[in-house]
């Protein structure tokens, strides 16, 4: 099972130390940004540009669009060679980005906003998912039907996660937090247990082991951050044409993965993650389609990759009201809107 929370990332002091150690802001593994030249519009690059994309967990369906773009050559079609790096518990994505060891990563929107407010040099370039797949996992017979029903209950989740303060403040409730262990054993034996999950993931495990689960999406509370495709800010500023090509090929990969033939990506995922199987991957794809996590609601102007200035402002306002932002910021501080048909 996967982690359902992340740390808040690199502090300004840690960043200063990293820079002092010479890690740089524009390359990978010590490479300097001068080694990568931006594409010239209309000219085919003489050599493929190598990029590093850091995911937020081990290979799975939630990353399928990127694997599809690799497997079907969509990145190569635009002059890129993209290496997808798997993650695990506790990975410091903000630090990897800020120090230039990777150019791009996926991360939860609220954490990106917090890090930008702490002057970490990262910037969103597209939405990886229009809606967060995180939810509360409940047994089918649980009396908890809404967020207000959490009053006085205990929830296994990541202490300090922003959604906790948001739900408690807006619902006028209090519940206790059991630190996340990344396991399912307690849930399976306790019919009253509640824990954070991904709707694309843990419900599959419960059903396959004889349980009956249902979920309460965190987005239904009003706390609905994007999952973002994020870049090193200096790299994005210096290489807008490479960034544009990368985003376009990624969106193409996601369209094909969700509504075309996901087989090429799935074979890559299976080869990288021994805990995956075709049935599990299929469950994840169906959940992403069912909840429109990646493509969003077309009636609201949402689409794969698209960012909304107004919606980012709402997310910033929500975090500002919780007192977790170190300074006032705007959507233009968080995202570069040039690379998608954003609104």
Residues forming beta bridges with residue 85, ordered by sequence position: 54
pLDDT at 83 over 90: yes
Mean pLDDT across the chain = 90
pLDDT of res. 2: 55
CA 301 to chain centre: 20
pLDDT at 340 over 90: yes
pLDDT of res. 10: 39
Q: CB-based contacts of 136: which residues, under 8 Å, 6+ apart? A: 144, 150, 155, 194, 195, 196, 197, 215, 216, 218
E-assigned strand segments in 167-226 = 176-179, 195-198, 213-217
Domains in the chain, CATH or no CATH each: 12-131+226-339 (3.40.190.10), 134-221 (3.40.190.10)
Quick one: pLDDT band at residue 304, thresholds 50, 70, 90?
A: very high
129-163, pLDDT tens digit by residue?
999 999 999 999 999 999 999 999 999 999 999 99
Q: For residues 343 and 217, what is the distance between their CA atoms, to the nearest angstrom?
A: 25
| Strands 80-85 and 49-54, sheet pairing | parallel
Quick one: pLDDT band at residue 18, thresholds 50, 70, 90?
A: very low
Q: CB-based contacts of 111: which residues, under 8 Å, 6+ apart? A: 6, 8, 9, 94, 162
Structure tokens at 206: 């419960």
Q: Are 140 and 212 in contact (CB under 8 A)?
A: yes
- Provide DSSP, 267-322: HHHHHH-TT--HHHHHHHHHHHHHTTTTT--GGGT--TT---HHHHHHHHHHHHHH
């Amino acid at each position: 099972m996967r982690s359902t929370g992340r740390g808040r990332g690199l502090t300004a002091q840690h960043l200063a130390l990293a820079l002092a150690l010479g890690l740089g802001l524009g390359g990978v593994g010590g490479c300097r940004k001068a080694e990568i030249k931006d594409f010239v519009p209309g000219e085919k690059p003489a050599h493929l540009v190598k990029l590093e994309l850091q995911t937020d967990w081990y290979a799975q369906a939630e990353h399928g669009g990127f694997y599809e773009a690799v497997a079907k050559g969509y990145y190569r079609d635009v002059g890129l060679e993209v290496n997808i790096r798997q993650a695990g518990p506790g990975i410091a994505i903000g630090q990897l980005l800020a120090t230039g060891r990777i150019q791009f990563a996926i991360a939860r929107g609220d954490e990106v906003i917090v890090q930008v407010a702490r002057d970490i040099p990262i910037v969103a370039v597209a939405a990886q998912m229009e809606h967060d797949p995180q939810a509360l996992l409940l047994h089918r017979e649980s009396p908890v039907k809404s967020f207000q029903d959490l009053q006085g209950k205990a929830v296994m989740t990541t202490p300090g996660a922003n959604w906790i303060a948001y739900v408690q403040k807006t619902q006028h409730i209090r519940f206790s937090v059991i630190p996340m262990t990344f396991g399912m054993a307690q849930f399976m034996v306790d019919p009253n247990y509640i824990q954070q999950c991904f709707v694309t993931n843990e419900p599959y495990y419960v059903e396959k082991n004889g349980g009956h689960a249902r979920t309460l999406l965190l987005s239904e509370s009003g706390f609905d951050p994007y999952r973002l495709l994020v870049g090193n800010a200096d790299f994005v500023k210096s290489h807008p044409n490479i960034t544009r090509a990368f985003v376009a090929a990624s969106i193409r990969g996601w369209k094909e993965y969700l509504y075309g033939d996901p087989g090429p990506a799935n074979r890559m995922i299976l080869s990288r993650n021994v805990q995956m199987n075709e049935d599990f991957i299929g469950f994840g794809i169906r959940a992403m389609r069912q909840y429109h996590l990646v493509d969003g609601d077309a009636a609201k102007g949402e689409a794969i990759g698209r960012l909304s200035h107004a919606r980012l402002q709402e997310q910033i306002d929500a975090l500002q009201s919780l007192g977790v932002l170190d300074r006032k910021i705007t959507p233009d501080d968080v995202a570069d809107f040039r690379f998608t048909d954003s609104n």
